[in-house]
Structure 1
């Protein structure tokens, strides 16, 4: 089966992504301290590296969340009776197949709407899903789930899934409008399924973002390759070391890149030269960890009612099922 852009709803084009990257790179690289958004890790190489990360022994979130879905998917299908499943940041939709199978078995599901920023990844996923679920209406949406929530298809009986702990990449100031905007797009009684990593011993947390094989370090440096390719920059990734640390006050992991020497980086596409001092660090990601009471409060303030809360056997990861109230 082949799939063309006519078979996708495309709200985010390559020109939009480049414009956003240019704006974010200029803002982040001229700030003190410097920063870059984590969404730019994920070109084809970065996505492949992240898939490697999910299989590393130190990286528990993917396995923990999958164990919850393995155990609870049938209950989620029974409780929600969802007719349409919408997934934000779907990627390959691998874990979501547990929900698809359970909802089909329950007999209510008619449509699956995966949303992702990458048209290529989404096209590939939709081809596979249509092959494996020929009786299911599958329609991919190429969009940014921060910018385009108002474009979610208005199908009845929706369950919106936001998995993988991606909610942790938002700061509290970013989470509040995101959750409130999502709530505004849902009808009262529609459902929201949220995967969130939990606060735990830093001895478990930090290695998940700083593995012994160095895959996460290479993933972190990949953002520099993205800037080189997209903005004609001349970053030398080998001159930046990977840093992962736990911030106990903010209760998040920070990933940073530390310059190993004084250097200047040129970005001709932005007509910009940026200086890094030896030892200077640039933040590339935050990954917030949650406490159940705090997550319940954030959902409530956005207009959701938490109905069910599940964790894996070791209470490392949580999955919340909430309704738009």
Structure 2
């Protein structure tokens, strides 16, 4: 893992403009900061999708085209703490639908915690955790031919550019059978007054989360970033519909990273691009699925129409 981190940090800082991969936000400190972000008043995304799962649960179930007496597999990509999914699982179990819940995650620890929690909250739930890469696990499951409903929530697809998102959905389709469903949770394009604060909260938690990348490089790759000489720089283009996060140098400076055996020079105002968060509308979703095996079945929004769960049908 450390060698991959070193390699990808070097590739990103060697590039012009400089970049760092957003996946490295998530160490122990980063995980804790992200939980704080999700609970901040400005970060509407989690609350809006929870609203859908809590208040439009039957509408979601109806969109899956499943019968109570017909077995299906409910598969979630990157389940996390299962906060939103629990609302759906409770109703499916209470109404005696015949299914197994298969959360997929790269972290065996996250899956163990989730399984323990669900066994307490929903004791009658049949849960079969799947540890590994999404596509490797799905490939091993596709031979079953049982109907499948895939959940990909939290607008995680928005961390990819449109070309990668299209490839990702295409690859999902190759692991599914005719009639299977994909629930794709996405953040909708809105005004900068709403979107901007979600990535730049008043307490500065998002700033700490972004700058934690430099802390990781200092600790794990023996870098000498002076965090006080950099700042969190969020940007949102309402017309483009993409929120971007940068780390900006506030001075002309040189940074040594001993594990890479290189010194990097930063001009005052120079930015490192760390993350994108794509926002969507119907037109963009249609464009992304054009060359995939999916068609748009329905769209379910929260009460504020900030967020949407698109239900896609595998053709």
After TM superposition, the score normalised by the length of structure 2 is 0.90
Equivalents in 2 of 1:160, 1:229: separation in Å? 38
Q: Deviations over 1:131-185 (max 9, x none)?
A: 333333323333344x646545335221111111111100012112111001111
Deviation at 1:26, TM superposition (A): 1.7
Give 1:58 deviation, angstroms: 1.2
Matched, 1:233 2:223: yes
Question: Partner of 2:79: helix, strand, or coil?
Answer: coil
Q: 1:247 to 1:297 in 2, by over 3 A?
A: same
Cα distance per residue 1:275-306 (max 9 Å; x no partner):
22221110111000001122133224311121
Q: How many residues align?
A: 308
- SS for the counterpart of 1:90 is coil
TM-score (norm 1): 0.88
Specify which of 48, 63, 83 is matched with residue 47 of structure 2.
63
Q: Could you tell me whether the CA contact under 8 Å between 1:256 and 1:285 is conserved in 2?
A: yes
Taking the aligned partners of 2:128 and 2:86, their CA distance within structure 1 comes to 15
Q: Does the C-alpha gap of structure 1 residues 59 and 31 become closer, same or farther in structure 2, counting only changes over 3 Å?
A: same
How far has the Cα of 1:72 moved from its partner?
Answer: 2.1
Matching residue of 1:11: none
Q: Distance in 2 between matches of 1:222 and 1:205?
A: 22
Q: Post-superposition shift, 1:119?
A: 3.0
Q: Corresponding residue for 1:252? A: 242
Q: Secondary structure at the match of 1:241?
A: strand
Shift of 1:59: 1.1
Q: CA RMSD of the aligned region, Å?
A: 2.0
Aligned to 2:291: 301
Which runs of 5 or more residues in structure 1 are unaligned? 1-16
Tell me how far apart the structure 1 counterparts of residues 140 and 8 of structure 2 sit (CA, whole Å).
25
Q: Which residue of 2 aligns with 1:176?
A: 166
Question: Where does residue 157 of structure 2 map in the other structure?
Answer: 167
Aligned to 1:130: 119
Tell me the residue number matched to 1:73: 57
CA distance in 1, matches of 2:269, 2:154: 32
> Residues 27 and 149 from structure 1, CA distance in 2 versus in 1: closer, same or farther, beyond 3 angstroms?
farther
Q: Is the 8 A contact 1:228 1:234 kept in 2?
A: yes
SS at match of 1:290: coil
Q: Which residue of 2 aligns with 1:116?
A: 105
Q: CA deviation at 1:109?
A: 4.2
Aligned mates of 2:297, 2:306 — CA distance in 1: 20
- Pair 1:153 & 2:141 matched: yes
Change (3 A) 1:310 1:79: closer
The corresponding residue for 2:199 is: 209
CA distance in 2, matches of 1:91, 1:318: 19
